[in-house]
Amino acid sequence: MTGATTAMAGCVPLAAPALSNEEAEATARLFAALGDPHRVKIVNLLATSPEPVCICNLIGPLGLAQPTVSHHMKKLVEAGLLEREQRGKWAFFSLNHEAVSKLAGLIDLEGKSR
Amino acid sequence: MTGATTAMAGCVPLAAPALSNEEAEATARLFAALGDPHRVKIVNLLATSPEPVCICNLIGPLGLAQPTVSHHMKKLVEAGLLEREQRGKWAFFSLNHEAVSKLAGLIDLEGKSR
DNA sequence: TCGATACATCGACAATAATCGATATGACTT
DNA sequence: AAGTCATATCGATTATTGTCGATGTATCGA
């Protein structure tokens, strides 16, 4: 399935894509982590909180069941945007500011010269 | 279904979420537009190209069928990240740099004080 | 040790999204 | 007018994802 059936007749190909498949997939994974409104709210809550927040403090504001919140937290941690810290029976989460900066820089790269 | 069944017993609620549902959904839509590796490649191609690019020049590098490329372009235009310009029978696309800057600013808001 | 609490995992289900072939639309050429 | 080319739309299919109830695991308190 290479596509490109008979459609691109008189078309001159541009320069080869600058991003590798792996780079594109990694970037997409990062953006996809923020592609859900509930996860955006979670990140916003953590960004506006001076202290780490536990899951039980997120269930109410989000209006989601506890397993669903756990699911979103896992996605955000796997994306590298959040850090998880166990305190007794509570799981506290905080923003990984380094990852957020890296994400912002990624967009700058995309919008400027690379 | 308000969630919060019996689970959050001794939990003190934090401050109310700062983002409205509409804000969170709009932000998520923007990120979701970049949550696909092919769309990341498209944006990268447009960012590295000094001139607008037509769809027939994207089919080859992406390895996708023409309707699939059109589908991705539509998503990116709807997200406000791309601008579409008709030239004869060709459709040329270019980055909306303003939208990209706005996206970068959004992340800064999220990572800093808001 | 026993019960309660906080969270994770599992299994299922529904909604969304990516993909493509077929076809329609619109523009240029002859 | 007819044919060709670039793109959009449609319909169907498959894969992914968000959601929740039920259950498992670990920690704390009595």
In percent, how much of chain B has pLDDT > 90?
Answer: 63
Q: Which fold has domain B23-111?
A: Arc Repressor Mutant, subunit A (1.10.10)
Residue B86 pairs in a beta bridge with B91
Q: What is the mean pLDDT of chain A?
A: 82
- Interface check for A20 against chain B (CB to CB < 8 A): the answer is no
pLDDT for the residue numbered B51? 94
Distant-in-sequence, close-in-space partners of A100: CB < 8 Å, separation ≥ 6: A81, B107, B110, B111
| A60 pLDDT above the threshold of 70 | yes
Which nucleotides on chain D have any atom < 7 A from a protein Cβ?
4-11, 17-22, 26-28
| Token pair belonging to A23 | 């780079």
Q: What is the pLDDT of residues A61-88, one digit of tens each?
A: 999 999 999 999 999 999 999 999 999 9
The whole-angstrom separation of Cα B97 and Cα A79 is: 26
Mean pLDDT of B16-33: 86
Mean pLDDT of B27-38: 96
How far apart are the CA of B80 and the nearest CA of chain A, in angstroms? 14
Q: Say what the ipTM of the complex is.
A: 0.84
Domain residue spans of chain B: 23-111
Q: How confident is the model at residue A109 (pLDDT cuts 50, 70, 90)?
A: low
